[in-house]
Amino acid sequence: MWPRPMQTLRRLFVQDPQFRVSVSDTVKEGLYKEPAMMVSLLLGSICMLLPLVVYPIHSKNANSRQNELYIKSQRLLLQRANVDEMKVQILGLLSNQIFDP
Instruction: Give the pLDDT means over successive 10-residue stretches in the chain (101 positions).
Output: 56 56 70 76 88 83 86 85 78 68 54
Q: Is the whole model's pTM more than 0.85, yes or no? A: no
The pLDDT, as a whole number, for residue 18 is: 59
Distances (CA, A) of 82 to 72, 74, 75, 88, 92: 15, 12, 11, 10, 15
The pLDDT, as a whole number, for residue 6 is: 57
The pLDDT, as a whole number, for residue 55 is: 84
The pLDDT, as a whole number, for residue 31 is: 67
The pLDDT, as a whole number, for residue 10 is: 56
Q: Is 31 exposed, middle or buried (0-12, 13-18, 19+ CB in 10 A)?
A: middle
